[in-house]
Amino acid sequence: MAADPFDVAVVGGGPAGLSAALSLARARRRVIVFDAGDPRNGVAAHMHGVLGHDGLPPTRLLERGRVEVEQYGGVVVEGRVESARARGGGIEVDGPSGAVTARRLIVATGLRDRLPDIAGLREQWGRGVVVCPYCDGWERRHHTIGVIAAGPQGVDQAHQLRQWSERIVYFPNDVGEPGADAVRTLEARGIRIERGPVRAVRSSDGRVEAVELDDRSVAVETIFTATTLHPRDRLLRDLGARTLDDAAGSWVVVDPDGRTSVEHVWAVGNVIDRRSNVSVSLGAGSLIAGAVNADLTAADIALG
Ligand SMILES: Cc1cc2nc3c(=O)[nH]c(=O)nc-3n(C[C@H](O)[C@H](O)[C@H](O)COP(=O)(O)OP(=O)(O)OC[C@H]3O[C@@H](n4cnc5c(N)ncnc54)[C@H](O)[C@@H]3O)c2cc1C
């Protein structure tokens, strides 16, 4: 590993972090990326809707990204960063082989999805159980799709998926009976409602087969549901980054350039933005790299 200090330490080597690292390495900044190796979509066999890479395994995109960063002199380290602190006008991070200092820190650690607590759901996560129609809808367009509600927005999700398949079954589960208007619009679009608590998801030969209710089984081929999103933002919170808490949860706040409230610390991708799919993460990483490079240039000018 090159000697300290680096210009930029990037924690998280998913699409957001690697995209930022690539631009910064090409700007001849000394960059180090730490990555724990469990990207959000790592469970999925294929990635969709990413122009030029549609259908590529997500892990392949990241392998290519790491090679590209290294081609320009960037350093990529496998392992988790457990903590970070302000140090000497920059930031010190505790990597797997000890402390490393950098003038700027970019946190791109993503988020975790928590699934509804239903037996058999987790086993199919990223295969027969998915959340994003733009990522997985096309491949399921001929499937009977079960939508298991995880909140009142389940009705909207069922309507949305009707765009992809004519065979949608809506399971209100324990969210409760949809209102009269919702029942009318669902039924008008041919969306079947199967009421009652969902007890389990049954699979066979690796494929989803049915949703089990108390008194019956309902055959489906794919399940869409909603997850609770947990940003992996402990590093940022420990550094004192400002958060915004509202009905949608608690998220670290950044300005349009990705700058957090903590001096020298930026954040990008799913860790601060729930809507950041792969394409958005790649774009945001590139954008933030320009802002970090400009900040470093301003500091270089000030040094004379
Ligand atoms: C099942 C599923 C399928 C999906 N399919 C698609 C799709 O087809 N198309 C699409 O556009 N989007 C898809 N997505 C969304 C996609 O996964 C995210 O948009 C994308 O991963 C966000 O990129 P990111 O770089 O912010 O985070 P991530 O890709 O999650 O990368 C974060 C990285 O940071 C690392 N990390 C975390 N904490 C630390 C730490 N302390 N130290 C070091 N490293 C750390 C992690 O190991 C991980 O490698 C899918 C999501 C899911 C759940």
Q: What pTM was computed for the model?
A: 0.96
Domain with CATH 3.50.50.60 in the chain: 6-112+228-303, 116-224
> Cα torsion for 115, 116, 121, 125, to the nearest 10°?
-20
From 10, 35, 38, 41, mutation site for ligand 1 pocket: most ligand atoms within 8 A of C-beta: 41
pLDDT in tens, 251-281: 999 999 999 999 999 999 999 999 999 999 9
Output the residue whose Cα is nearest ligand 1's atom 18. 277
Distance 177 CA to ligand 1 centre (A): 34
Token digits of residue 208: 């989803």
User: At a CB cut-off of 8 Å and minimum separation 6, what does 298 contact?
Assistant: none
CATH of domain 116-224: 3.50.50.60
- How many other C-beta atoms are found inside a 10 Å radius of the C-beta of residue 94? 16
pLDDT in tens, 66-78: 999 999 999 999 9
Distance 110 CA to ligand 1 centre (A): 5
Residues 136 and 133: their CA atoms lie apart, in Å, by 5
Q: How many residues does the chain have?
A: 304
From 109, 129, 279, mutation site for ligand 1 pocket: most ligand atoms within 8 A of C-beta: 109
From 277, 280, 282, 286, mutation site for ligand 1 pocket: most ligand atoms within 8 A of C-beta: 277
- From residue 254, how far is each of 207, 241, 258 by CA, in Å? 41, 9, 5
Output the residue whose Cα is nearest ligand 1's atom 21. 40
Res. 1: pLDDT tops 60: no
Residues 176 and 170: their CA atoms lie apart, in Å, by 12
Residues 38 and 49: their CA atoms lie apart, in Å, by 21
Looking at 15-55, list the stretches that DSSP marks H as alpha helix, in order from N- to C-terminal side: 15-26
Output the residue whose Cα is nearest ligand 1's atom 52. 41
| CATH 3.50.50.60, applies to 6-112+228-303 | yes
Q: Return the ligand 1 atom nearest residue 16 CA.
A: 25
Strand bridging mode 31-35 / 207-213? unpaired
pLDDT in tens, 13-55: 999 999 999 999 999 999 999 999 999 999 999 999 999 999 9
Tell me, what DSSP letter sits at residue 269? Answer: G
Beta-bridge partners for 217: 212
Output the residue whose Cα is nearest ligand 1's atom 4. 41
Show the ligand 1 pocket: residues with CB < 6 angstroms. 11-17, 34-41, 43-44, 47-50, 80-81, 108-110, 113, 126, 130, 132, 135, 232, 269-270, 276-279, 281
Residues 69 and 153: their CA atoms lie apart, in Å, by 40
**300: enclosing H helix or E strand:** helix 278-303
Please, what is the average pLDDT of the chain? Answer: 96
Distance 223 CA to ligand 1 centre (A): 21
Cβ(175)–Cβ(198) below 8 Å: no
